[in-house]
Chains A and B, each alone.
Chain A
Amino acid sequence: MSSHQISVTINGEEHTREVEARLLLVHFIREEVGLTGTHIGCDTTSCGACTVLLNGVPAKSCTVFAVAADGAEVTTVEGLGNGGLHPVQQGFTEKHGLQCGFCTPGMMLTSKALLEENPDPSEEEIRWGISGNLCRCTGYVNIVKAVQRASELMKENSDG
């Protein structure tokens, strides 16, 4: 098995490792770097539990090789909020947008990217935006409300 040296910047910190070519980015993040907030829920790129931001864009990290992220900037749930809470984290808490919490990191990162692209999404746009992330607990209504609340908070922040 060939191995390669890669450097990936995760939440602003650079991590250099020697990895097997086949190592998945999600395992790099969880096992090599030890950030376990990124979860794994399937083996068919269907659930989105592993969603991270790869150079700012949501990516299912179970379907990206770590070597393909060489030189990239990755944001995981641990990098949301910079000490405080990101509006998305605030919204999910206030609106009860999570139950077991397993889908939540991926769901929040997808929501963050969605709101950056579309600061004022309709319910339909939110539902479409998060449709690559499965949640078995919440029935999505409160996730939609959480994203709407995050949108409000982000606007308040930028107004203030």
Chain B
Amino acid sequence: MAECRGLGHSVQRKEDARFIRGQGRYIDDVKLPGMLYLDIARSPYAHAKITKIHEDTAMAVDGVAAVITGKTLEGFKLAWMPTLMSDQQMVLPVDTVKYQAQEVAAIVATSRYAAADGAAALEVDYDPLPVVVDPHEALKPGATKVRDDKESNHIFHWEHGDADGTDAALAGCDTVVEQHMHLPRIHVASIETCGCVASWNPVEGHLTLYLTTQAPHAIRTVVALVTAHLGLAEHKIRVISPDIGGGFGGKVPVYPGYVLATAASVVTGKPVKWIEDRSENLQADSFARDYHITAKLGSKDGKVTALKLDTVADHGYSDAAANPSKFPAGLYHIATGSYDLENAHVSVDGVYTNKPPGGIAYRCSFRVTEAVHAIERMVDLLARENGEDPADFRLRNFIKPEQFPYQSALGWEYDSGNYGAALEKAMDMIGYRELRAEQAEKRARGELMGVGISSFTEIVGAGPSKTFDILGIKMFDSAEIRIHPTGKAIARFGTKSQGQGHETTYAQIIAEELGIPPEDIQVEEGDTDTAPYGLGTYASRSTPTAGAAASIASRKIRDKARKIAAHLLEADEADLVWEQGKFHVKGSPDRAKTIQDIAFAAYTNHPQGMEAGLEAISYYDPPNLTFPFGSYICCVDIDRGTGQVRIRRFVAVDDCGVRINPMIVDGQIHGGLTMGIAPALLEEISYDADGNITGGNFMEYLVPTAMETPHWELGETVTPSPHHPIGAKGVGESATVGAPPAVVNAVVDALWHLGVRHMEIPMTPARVWDVLNEHGAAATR
């Protein structure tokens, strides 16, 4: 029998065959007969009253077929749409714009160029209004109010943990460090932007929506809910998520453009395509981060004891964060990280400002990056305040392997971990003690070199139905497997790959469980008419949820296969032994039936009284989240003349439990690390006092190229998840979450002797040079 190449094999990816030939089908490749194109006119102001939209100026352009404004949508009760966080967001403004680049009107035309011409030609009269961009200012009495329908700019206060106990514990500490830090706005900037093709069939009353979405099923339900009053029903809505050119959380939300294309298709009776430009993508799509954190961490006799985080979260003009509904600050309360500490309290105050809405993940499981940044920076500071090397301090304060399952002070049950092993491995790989010696020598010569550690704990795989839902829909995920008579299979899932390689890894899970080689298994996702319902791919949840469903559905199939095998072998079920890919009779390995024999029999010779066929479905409700972890060590050199930080080496030891396809896991980590150093060194979307965006295109928003990206060095430890069917934990985001504080800690380490205690990110050459200059360490000629 062919080797089935299940878990642990670097199987080459099935999806690559089409991608390397240019035969992927991405959203902009979808072209339907008679299709129209939609472009969007956007606001030049961050806050303004719209006094008049001169629709005729756009209609006068050749090829323009329709102009849609907020007033048009108001007629259909579609001017506003609900967000996932019980707030609402404009599809198009009826009278006021709230941020620069906000959608003002949609232009529908016979070609892409004509639509763009129409958007450029549209004249709009504005009365500018006062702008508030700083969330601290926005909270002050008398501040410009962003939302007319709200009392103030304060959206919510959320807190978790024991406030009094934590204050008391901090008061009892012998060493307390306090630090303010800002994690600025950043953008996922997947290389494919967002877009859709909406195709309304008025005769059938049927809508097909091709959409760049990470969560097609949830989108279908949302569309059904917000358009029910217009007569659309869920069985008449088909969402197809084609090949996705990177998602990273940015393709979870519903953007106004999707609604506009849908409305335009209904109005014109033709398919309508909307594809955003890169600049629109960076300026108007959901941002990530923008947390202003004040952190306190205390120790007593060298033991970490208490953590307190107070946070101001800038949400822009609407709370459109993509979080599970009961978690306004996501999983921020993972903030105690890898450390055994008894007292913790975290709070977040959400604030409206004149900026785009969002609060998505940027390759992170719901605000975990913010939490990890805070704890890993603070542990470093506290180590030094204790006069101890940051590595040794961590090793002493880690949760110990024998403490798992571990109850954290903020209420999580960590499934498994061995933090010391990961850090020690990383230290060995990079030669930590030797680097310290080298640093001492270099320092004596006036050269700046630093070493930084981050020992993160992730929390992924949302999530157990008792706490996790989105708009009430529980966060299970699904797999449906059908074995054909010839022993080949098709498997469909509620998730949606955006490059993670699901077509390969899911096939490997099934291969492991059933002994059918991966190439004999067709994996499909993304079409709501064919795939079972699921909540989609984000927050590293696919392997923990749908991957588990693949195992469970396979095992259901195996149970039936056993019955059929017993029938074929004329043996008792209890006497059958499963070895990968076949059942044999105990004691006589030659009396065996392969899964392929059994599949054929399931359709041709199944036992009387049993239904024909061999298929199963699983909607997997995870019993707990999974907690991947790792230790990263970053070594930097800083140019005293330019302030340039160069990452000389970066060692990443990850533990994501059992690895399904090691090649793909390494690829995920490489990509995650690159998206981890990006906000540390390069990326930021910022605004001037008038709310004008800076960093709204690829010339200013600096995504790392191959030149800024170091040669990643990876290591692994394997601590299986005890509750996942195959022991896997999920890995897509660990590196993005874990990497930034390693870089910051390295830079601060390089500058520590100068008196530098903290660096805000991104640590651009200009910012670093300023710090060097302040401390008299910038090289001058």
A residues bordering B, Cβ < 8 Å?
A: 20, 22-23, 27, 30-31, 35-44, 46-47, 49, 76-78, 80-81, 85, 89, 92-94, 96, 98-105, 108, 123, 126-128, 130-144
Contact = CB atoms under 8 A, between A and B. Distances in A.
Contacts of B13: 93, 96
B667 interface: yes
A71 to B, nearest CB: 23
Contacts of B191: 39, 41, 47, 49, 100, 102-103, 134-137
A67 to B, nearest CB: 14
B765 to A, nearest CB: 17
12 contacts: A35-B22, A36-B26, A77-B21, A92-B16, A93-B20, A99-B500, A99-B671, A104-B20, A136-B671, A137-B246, A140-B674, A141-B709
B109 to A, nearest CB: 14
A100 B246 contact: yes
Given A37-B21, A96-B667, A99-B500, A131 B113 contact: no
B667 A99 contact: yes
Residue in B246, B663, B697 with the greatest tally of chain A CB atoms within 10 Å: B246
Nearest to A46: B698
Contacts of B246: 99-100, 102, 136-137
A86 to B, nearest CB: 9
B24 to A, nearest CB: 5
A26 B489 CA distance: 39
Interface in B8-39: 12-13, 15-26, 28-29
Given A22-B113, A134-B705, A136-B671, A93 B12 contact: yes
Given A101-B15, A108-B20, A44 B706 contact: no
Q: Closest 4 CB pairs between A and B?
A: A37-B22, A100-B499, A102-B245, A101-B19
Contacts of A76: 22
B221 to A, nearest CB: 26
A5 B333 CA distance: 63
Contacts of B633: none
A131 B706 contact: yes
A100 B245 contact: yes
A39 B192 contact: yes
B617 interface: no
Interface of B: 12-13, 15-26, 28-29, 112-113, 188-193, 243-246, 248, 277-279, 498-501, 663-664, 666-667, 669-675, 697-699, 703, 705-707, 709, 711-712
A98 B243 CA distance: 13
Nearest to B29: A36
Nearest to B672: A139
Nearest to A35: B22
A100 B244 CA distance: 7
Residue in A23, A77, A101 with the greatest tally of chain B CB atoms within 10 Å: A101
A134 B20 contact: no
Contact of A141 (B188, B189, B705, B711): B711
Contact of B706 (A20, A98, A130): A130
B116 to A, nearest CB: 10
Residue in B22, B28, B666 with the greatest tally of chain A CB atoms within 10 Å: B22
B241 to A, nearest CB: 13
Given A47-B698, A102-B246, A142-B670, 7 more contacts: A22-B113, A39-B28, A46-B697, A46-B699, A99-B501, A131-B705, A136-B189
Contacts of B278: 41-44, 46-47
Residue in B12, B21, B674 with the greatest tally of chain A CB atoms within 10 Å: B21
Nearest to B677: A139
A105 B16 CA distance: 12
Contacts of A36: 22, 25-26, 28-29
B29 A127 contact: no
A41 to B, nearest CB: 4
Nearest to A127: B706
A37 to B, nearest CB: 2
A136 B22 contact: no
Nearest to A106: B191
A80 to B, nearest CB: 8
Contacts of B113: 20, 22-23
A134 B667 CA distance: 16
Nearest to B708: A131
A144 B706 CA distance: 9
A89 B189 contact: no
B28 A139 contact: no
Given A22-B113, A40-B28, A131-B706, A100 B20 contact: no
Contacts of B22: 35-38, 76-78, 105
Contact of A42 (B500, B697, B712): B697
B189 A142 contact: no
Nearest to A40: B28
A138 B20 contact: no
A103 B698 CA distance: 15
A101 B243 contact: yes
Residue in A137, A138, A140 with the greatest tally of chain B CB atoms within 10 Å: A137
B16 A136 contact: no
A100 B191 CA distance: 9
Contacts of B12: 93-94, 96
Contacts of B667: 96, 99, 137-139, 142
B670 A139 contact: yes
A101 B706 contact: no
Nearest to A140: B706
A89 B17 CA distance: 9
A101 B244 CA distance: 9
Given A44-B698, A77-B21, A105-B22, A99 B499 contact: yes
A1 B28 CA distance: 25
B506 to A, nearest CB: 16
Residue in A131, A140, A144 with the greatest tally of chain B CB atoms within 10 Å: A140
Contacts of A96: 12-13, 663-664, 666-667
A130 B706 CA distance: 7
A126 B711 CA distance: 12
Residue in B671, B706, B707, B711 with the greatest tally of chain A CB atoms within 10 Å: B706
B652 to A, nearest CB: 10
B26 A39 contact: yes
Nearest to B701: A46
Contacts of A23: 113
